[in-house]
Chains A and B, each alone.
Chain A
Amino acid sequence: MKTTLFVMLKGPHESCDLDLMERIAGDEDKAALLFEDAVYYSVMPGRAKELKRRLDDVYVISDDLQARGVDDRLIDGFQVVDYPKAVDLIMEGYDQTITL
């Protein structure tokens, strides 16, 4: 079964069709890697639930959490990663990477 890593940059208040992930990857294993304002998904309970229910795993870039001063508000179920780990996820962790 193919696995897909979605790269997200936009925050919860910007336009992003989360259903697109299900339309693209269906029932396949899928995860998201959150950069920049997309890290806000990991600290907003309602938005976090919306995202997590669509995915098997969600990773959050530590630098961007810290830059926004919200690293102490992380919701359970999100995995904080640094850039070296992000490279591993992109290059080896999944069969394909799609930027939303």
Chain B
Amino acid sequence: MGTLIIQIRSGTMMNMDVNVMVKLAEAAVEKGHDVKIFGYGEGIMAIKEGQEPKRFPNVGKSLEELAKKGVETSVCETCAYARGVKRGEEIEGASVGSLTNNLSVMVSEGDRMITLAR
């Protein structure tokens, strides 16, 4: 089994990138792979607590469920603070991290990486 890294750079309500992220992560975990997710740019919004979309999948809830299965999710601190998302506002199981402490480690340790961006 390997480690799949998913970098998400699209926001939760921009397009279907976050849904692809969730479906890929769920399928990979089901198959026994490790999955690590890193949010960059608008992609940091996926970990914001209190998401209540009316007609779309709740990405925050999905990431919380994935965290219970061992999926690590972190986001770029600079991107988060620029958008007014502070530490302590993350969903359960996710963290505000950094490019150097999180993404670079993920890339060095991962077997495959998918970037979901527009």
Q: Please state if B33 and A87 are interface contacts (CB–CB under 8 Å).
A: yes
B17 at interface by CB-CB < 8 Å? yes
Q: Please state if A83 and B116 are interface contacts (CB–CB under 8 Å).
A: no
Q: Please state if A97 and B113 are interface contacts (CB–CB under 8 Å).
A: yes
| Chain A nearest CB, measured from B65 CB (Å) | 16
Which residue of B17, B20, B28 is within 8 Å of A91 (Cβ)?
B28
Q: Please state if A91 and B111 are interface contacts (CB–CB under 8 Å).
A: yes
Interface residues of B in 67-118 (CB under 8 A from A): 111-118
Q: Please state if A90 and B4 are interface contacts (CB–CB under 8 Å).
A: yes
Which residue of A7, A36, A82, A84 is within 8 Å of B114 (Cβ)?
A7
B26 at interface by CB-CB < 8 Å? yes
Closest to A82 in B: B27
Which residue of A63, A64, A82, A91 is within 8 Å of B33 (Cβ)?
A91
Bound-state Cα–Cα, A19 to B27, Å? 31
Interface residues of A in 67-100 (CB under 8 A from B): 82-84, 86-88, 90-92, 96-97, 99
| Chain B nearest CB, measured from A53 CB (Å) | 25
Which residues of A does B touch, CB under 8 Å? Answer: 7, 9-10, 35-36, 63-64, 82-84, 86-88, 90-92, 96-97, 99
30 contacts between A and B (CB under 8 A): A9-B116, A9-B117, A35-B20, A36-B17, A36-B20, A63-B23, A64-B16, A83-B24, A83-B26, A84-B27, A84-B30, A84-B31, A86-B24, A86-B27, A87-B4, A87-B27, A87-B33, A90-B112, A90-B114, A91-B2, A91-B31, A91-B33, A91-B112, A92-B2, A96-B112, A97-B112, A99-B114, A99-B115, A99-B116, A99-B117
Kindly list 7 other residue pairs between chains A and B, CB separation below 8 angstroms, not including A9-B17, A9-B20, A90-B112.
Answer: A9-B118, A10-B118, A36-B20, A83-B27, A91-B31, A92-B2, A97-B113
Cβ-closest 3 pairs across A and B: A83-B27, A99-B115, A87-B27
